[in-house]
Amino acid sequence: MKTLTLLRHAKSSWNDPVAADFDRPLNKRGRRAARTIGREMKNRELRFDRVIASPAVRVIETLDDVTEGYGSPLHPQYDRRIYLASPAALLDLIHEIDDETERLLLVGHNPGLEQLALLLADGGELRDEVAVKYPTATVAEIRIPVQHWRQVRKGMGNIVRFIRPRDLDPTLGPDEDTH
């Protein structure tokens, strides 16, 4: 059994004068949401053998704040392929993961993460929630009954957790931002 956890970056600032989307930082609410999600990940005893993340500024800052809330380092490995990746590109990356890794955390962007969760999930109530909206700083945990990451295919998984910041602190939602 493999466990894939997807974390969408926290809410970023559209008001910051950066030249490129890649360089957009988090806003204050995003930073607070990331710390809140980190604490919840610790409370639920989520563990990861490997963390792979987009190197975009908003993802790096999200992981910094998640780590603060989580209370221990996550040791992310940054991979440019995750930046605004399609679900097919993310699945290609998953297929490359070594089989010693049982619990993988991918940190990135929408719409790729949401579409990947919908692609992998075989149905269920939490899949329906993902289909409605995958807000910023949200975690989806998917269990996939395979021995090898290269075996992961459409419809094989089961979403067992879908943790939104607004469910933990109502002042962190609703998230109207689609970025």
User: What residue numbers does the annotated binding site for substrate cover?
Assistant: 8-15, 58
Residue with tokens 């053998």: 49
**Identity of the amino acid at 90:** L
Distance (Å, whole) CA 52 – CA 80: 10
Distance (Å, whole) CA 74 – CA 27: 22
- What are φ and ψ of residue 162, in 5° steps? -145, 100
Inter-axis angle of helices 57-70 and 28-43, to 10 degrees?
40
Binding residues: 8-15, 58
Distance (Å, whole) CA 78 – CA 53: 5
Continuous H helices in the chain: 28-43, 57-70, 87-95, 112-120, 125-132, 165-168
Distance (Å, whole) CA 8 – CA 147: 26
